[in-house]
Amino acid sequence: MTGGNSDTNSTNLNNLNLPIFESTVSNSLIWRLWHSINYMLGGILFVFGSLVYYPPISKIVSGDVCGGWLFTIGSLNFLLADLTEWNHFKLGCLIKYKLKSDKEDTVNIDHLNKTCYAGFRRVEYGLNFFISAIGSCLYLFGSIFFIPALNNISIGEYLFIVGSIIIFLSQLWKCYRSLYTNEHDDNDRKIRFSNIKNDISGFNVDLWAGIGGFFYAIGTYLFSKVVTNNDLIVAVTLFVCGGISFFISGVCMQYRYYCNVMIKSEILLHTKLTNEESNEALYNGKNKNKEHN
């Protein structure tokens, strides 16, 4: 599916004419800082936004007001992070690209180009991340209605529940795709846990975000049915579990973007130095043999 953007791109396609996306880990430091800081702030604000609904804390800080605003700002952070990531993966979704003209794997290409499944695979990444952004957008509007001054908390609860379900399903989709994506064979769609070993931290980002959405979906539903103080405590506890899950997801993102990159760089550097030392030793060995002869 293409949108109104008429830009085309004839690069970054595999032999099946599907977009090849660079990992977000390889993006510029500024891009990663913008994305990860917004995401992390969203997780932190959701934790505190949940905590202030506990009755003892709510009496001290006006929990309804404080919580509504913390959720609103945190949701905005999440939305900015999701839109930033979607922009990275939008090729094939809203941007047209030229198909390869070569005839490599003609049967596979012709079959793939003429099926609905082919269209789905081209927009899969962009569509998945766009759905995540929709979930965050519903969080934002739902959070705004949580602010007591608007006197529409029931609408906020409904939007929050739907947004949480969308986020849960979107993250589940990402986790499922990680399990069947073989970076060495585009035709291989078998589910293997070994497929996530090259980006375990990325898988955890998606997994914990999905868990967070699940907790908020259940917690918000129970929050809308609160009758007693104990009911409220149970609902808020699920809120806090959801916020902590988002926070863990954010921590995994920081590790993926900065710590993991440094570790991989050190491994590559060590491998390069080891290879250079081996080549040098081999070269010296050959020279000694020549001198001996």
Domain coordinates in residue numbering, the chain: 24-261
The answer to whether the predicted template modeling score (pTM) of the entire model surpasses 0.85 is no
b/e burial code for range 259-280 (CB count within 10 A of at least 16 → b): ebeeeeeeeeeeeeeeeeeeee
Please, what are the averages of pLDDT over each run of 10 residues along the chain (293 residues)?
36 59 86 96 97 95 94 98 91 56 44 60 85 97 94 94 97 92 72 84 95 98 95 96 98 92 48 51 56 56
CA angle 21, 248, 198 (to 5 degrees): 35
Helix (H, G, I), strand (E, B) or coil at 121: helix
pLDDT reported for residue 10: 36
* C-alpha to C-alpha distance for 289 and 293, rounded to whole angstroms: 6
pLDDT of residue 166: 98
Helix 29-51 to helix 229-254 angle, to the nearest 10 degrees? 170
CA distances from 84 to 33, 34, 176, 249 (A): 11, 8, 22, 17
pLDDT of residue 121: 72
User: How many CB atoms are located within 10 Å of the residue 25 CB?
Assistant: 15
Q: Which position has the token pair 């917690």?
A: 219
- At 163 the pLDDT is 97
Distances (CA, A) of 242 to 20, 35, 44, 59: 33, 20, 11, 22
DSSP state of 26: G
pLDDT at 186: 66
Question: What pLDDT does residue 108 have?
Answer: 45
pLDDT of the residue at 191: 81
Helices (H) and strands (E) in the chain, counts: 9, 0
**Separation between Cα atoms, residue 256 and residue 143, nearest integer Å:** 29
